[in-house]
Amino acid sequence: MADVVLKDVTKIFDKEIYAVKDFNIEISDGEFVVLVGPSGCGKSTVLRMIAGLEEVTQGDIYIGDKIVNNIAPKERDIAMVFQNYALYPHMNVFDNISFGLKLRKVDSKEIEKRVNDAAEILGINHLMQRKPKALSGGERQRVALGRSIVRQPKVFLFDEPLSNLDAKLRVELRTEISKLHNRLKTTMIYVTHDQVEAMTLGEKIIIMRDGVIQQKGTPVDVYDNPVNKFVAGFIGSPSMNFITGQVEDTQGLLFNRGSLSFPINSGAEDKLKEFVGKDIIFGIRPEDISISGKEKGIPMVVEILEMMGNEIYLHLAIDQNTLIARVPPDTKVEEGQKVKIIFNFPKAHYFDPDSQIRI
Amino acid sequence: MNRKLSLMGYLMSAPYIIYFIIFSAFPIFFSFFLIFHRWNIVGPMKWVGLANFNMMFSDPLFWTSIYNTIIFLLIHIPLQVVVALVLAEVLNQKIKARAFFRAAFFMPVVVSGVVVTILWKQLYSTDTGLLNNLLMAIGFGKVEWLTSTAMAMPSIALMATWKNVGLYMILFLAGLQSVPAYMYEAADIDGATTLQKFRYITIPAINPVIIMVLILSTIGGFSLFIEPYVMTGGGPLNSTLSTVLYIYRQGFSFYKMGYAATLGFMLAAIIFVVVLIQRKLIEQDD
Ligand SMILES: Nc1ncnc2c1ncn2[C@@H]1O[C@H](COP(=O)(O)OP(=O)(O)OP(=O)(O)O)[C@@H](O)[C@H]1O
Ligand SMILES: [Mg+2]
């Protein structure tokens, strides 16, 4: 078990591709951290640098309190689950899982025990004699997980370990990984592009974009207080609604976007004053929009109604402006119906259209 | 329309089919026919039943030639496989001028066997050869490369390896490049050393190529001919008399076509059995 620290780490491929830029994170011993971001933002590269599979262009990586920049992967005592499983095709499942232990000269009884324990957790006991070729994608992924678990390393690195599973299995294994972390209390760094996975798993999540950290924090924190428009839009499903409009000052501030105009009353008025006469981006999450039963509210039309079972997604429109609202399943609305909506202003966000930063 | 198309197909494959009939199918059937005959090319054929086989089993020189060929294979094949694999591994690394070396090692493969053999005959020459001059220069004695019964066959095996190793190196190189990098990365994380990665990842991954190389070089080795024919004429004291050279002599020096055909079939049978055993021993179940 160990802390993992990245100090000003930069990775440049082929002298010009900045895959990771000035990356600074401190992960304390036993923490479960999720790195999340869209495809190609450099998540795998960060993980591979920690593992030692990719050289660091600039900066330092510490595992424990040692700089590991020039230490070979096998000396770092980490285990990694690869995005593409990376199982050994000519070895059966048992040999795949136990290979690392055999190389480290672990006693064969101990190997047997650890492999069986891992297989039990992952539900792959019956597959021990099969070759990877004869496994489904999900089974392979579980074998890859098994291979890392038995090692009992200082740090676990997971590169989208659940990406190829069906929804049910994904939820199951997500829970399994959570439990595993609770039991082992080993530092785990988990990469995913799936923000739901990030929200449910992480104690701390780190949101990346184009090789740069956008925000670090607890899931609740990044959800409620996104630092910029990217984070606000990336976290949460369906995404936050964004509307660009003008701030006007007519006895109190007014957000003006033609037919979608409303007074701003969120406690942010002080900061928004300097935007009077300028553009601003208004952001509101789907669950912070509700249908008003009374005459009050902004008029919109329900264009599409998506029944999700436990909730309804309403696609609302007025002129060119569209919004998605998430309302309780018993809401009485129909497609084509004219409704009045109300924003939960304390939960609304405002972004500077130039810097994209939250005001 | 369809008939036209299929006619076109036959026409286009005709050159190979004609070639195959004249140079493969016909000789095979004809030599099978010859096995039971005595024939000196110009005279009439005479049916002799199994007499050619009786002769073969009591022909010490034929068995000497088989023995010689096996000695050749025992030196040549391990040397060739190991050297080709090592070269491939080295030239698969990111080293300077790697394309140049790849081409250089492949060169001898495309040079005519006769030319190579004449060249090496000069290199191996006991009194004027470059090799012995080199040995003398660094303080060793002369080696009778081609003129002693003990050294002649190993010398030929060494040369044959030099000539063919490039081809097998290329095959291995292709095999090595098809081993995905992530397998080595996984092994790195699992804690494997370079040697362990070679043993547990590379070798099993290229197992099919190893089998192919073994079989190809076994078959190629059994047909050893040009080298002893040009270099030593089978000597000294028949120590480099290879089976194919012996068959050639029976056929084209002594005009015993029936007997030569019989020995040819026997050689084919031996090759078949050896290759079968090789496959059994090294093929991994999948
Ligand atoms: N070996 C390489 N050479 C050049 N560019 C690379 C290399 N590896 C990655 N990149 C580039 O670096 C960037 C980050 O890649 P990385 O694999 O880390 O993304 P990722 O966040 O893991 O994406 P995904 O979610 O699709 O796996 C990408 O733009 C990619 O094209
Ligand atoms: Mg990735």
CATH number for B276: 1.10.3720.10
The pLDDT of residue A191 = 95
Alpha-carbon gap, residue B286 to B272, rounded angstroms: 23
**B186 neighbourhood in chain A, CB within 8 Å:** 80, 82, 86-88
Q: What's chain A's Rg over C-alpha atoms?
A: 25
Nearest to B189 among A73, A84, A90 (CB): A73
Q: Is B67 among the domain residues?
A: yes
User: Is B185–A86 a contact, with Cβ atoms under 8 angstroms apart?
Assistant: yes
- Sorting pLDDT into bands at 50, 70 and 90, what band is B285? low
Task: Give yes or no for B185 touching A (CB within 8 A).
Answer: yes
Q: Is B17 among the domain residues?
A: no
**A51 neighbourhood in chain B, CB within 8 Å:** 189
In terms of CATH, what superfamily is A4-234?
A: P-loop containing nucleotide triphosphate hydrolases (3.40.50.300)
Going from the C-alpha of A169 to that of each of A118, A125, A180, the distances in angstroms are 17, 17, 16
User: Is A90–B204 a contact, with Cβ atoms under 8 angstroms apart?
Assistant: yes
Whole-number Å distance, alpha carbon A55 to ligand 1 midpoint, is 14
**Nearest-atom index, ligand 1, CA of A193:** 25
The pLDDT of residue A55 = 93
Going from the C-alpha of A296 to that of each of A17, A317, A340, B176, the distances in angstroms are 53, 17, 7, 72
The tally of domains found in chain B comes to 1
Choosing among A47, A50, A74, A92, which should be mutated to test the B contact, i.e. which has the most B CBs within 10 A?
Answer: A74
**B282 neighbourhood in chain A, CB within 8 Å:** none
Q: Is B37 among the domain residues?
A: no
Task: Give yes or no for B187 touching A (CB within 8 A).
Answer: yes
Q: Is B7 among the domain residues?
A: no
Task: Give yes or no for A54 touching B (CB within 8 A).
Answer: no
Q: Is B245 among the domain residues?
A: yes
User: Is B190–A87 a contact, with Cβ atoms under 8 angstroms apart?
Assistant: no
The pLDDT of residue A1 = 57
What are the residue ranges of CATH 2.40.50.140 in chain A? 241-351
Pocket of ligand 1 (CB under 6 A): A 13-14, 17, 19, 37, 39-45, 83, 193
Each residue's pLDDT expressed in tens, for chain A with a length of 359 residues: 579 999 999 999 998 999 999 999 999 999 999 999 999 999 999 999 999 999 999 999 999 888 999 999 999 999 999 988 899 999 999 999 999 999 999 999 999 999 999 998 888 999 999 999 999 888 898 899 999 999 889 999 999 988 877 888 888 888 888 988 998 899 999 999 888 899 988 889 999 999 999 999 999 999 999 999 999 999 998 999 999 999 988 877 888 888 888 888 767 777 788 888 889 999 999 999 999 877 788 889 999 999 998 999 999 998 888 999 999 998 888 999 999 999 998 899 999 999 999 98
Choosing among B184, B188, B189, B283, which should be mutated to test the A contact, i.e. which has the most A CBs within 10 A?
Answer: B189
What are the residue ranges of CATH 3.40.50.300 in chain A? 4-234
Q: Which amino acid is at A288?
A: D
User: Is the C-alpha dihedral spanning A227, A231, A233, A236 positive or negative?
Assistant: negative
Task: Give yes or no for A78 touching B (CB within 8 A).
Answer: yes
Query: What b-and-e string marks burial along B115-151, b requiring 16 or more CB atoms within 10 Å of the CB?
Result: ebbeebbebbbeeebebbeeeeeeeeeebebbbeeeb
Q: Is B33 among the domain residues?
A: no
Q: Is the pTM of this model over 0.90?
A: no
User: Is B196–A72 a contact, with Cβ atoms under 8 angstroms apart?
Assistant: no
Q: What angle separates helix A93-103 from helix A108-122, to the nearest 10 degrees?
A: 140
Torsion on CA atoms A95, A97, A98, A100, rounded to nearest 10 = 120
Whole-number Å distance, alpha carbon B98 to ligand 1 midpoint, is 28
pLDDT digits (tens, 9 = 90+) for B67-106: 999 999 999 999 999 999 999 998 888 888 888 888 888 8
A131's CB contacts (< 8 A; 6+ apart) are A89, A90, A91, A92, A93, B286
Residue A306 has phi, psi (to 5 degrees) of: -110, 115
Cα of A90 to nearest chain B Cα, Å: 7
Q: Is the confidence metric ipTM above 0.95 for this complex? A: no
A91 is written with which tokens? 């070895």
Nearest to A104 among B185, B191, B204 (CB): B191
Alpha-carbon gap, residue A161 to B75, rounded angstroms: 50
Q: Is B65 among the domain residues?
A: yes
Choosing among A80, A97, A103, which should be mutated to test the B contact, i.e. which has the most B CBs within 10 A?
Answer: A103
Whole-number Å distance, alpha carbon A134 to ligand 2 midpoint, is 25
Whole-number Å distance, alpha carbon A34 to ligand 2 midpoint, is 13
Q: Is B92 among the domain residues?
A: yes
User: Is B189–A51 a contact, with Cβ atoms under 8 angstroms apart?
Assistant: yes
Structural domain for B215, as ranges = 55-285
The CATH architecture annotation of domain A241-351 reads Beta Barrel (2.40)
User: Is A131–B286 a contact, with Cβ atoms under 8 angstroms apart?
Assistant: yes
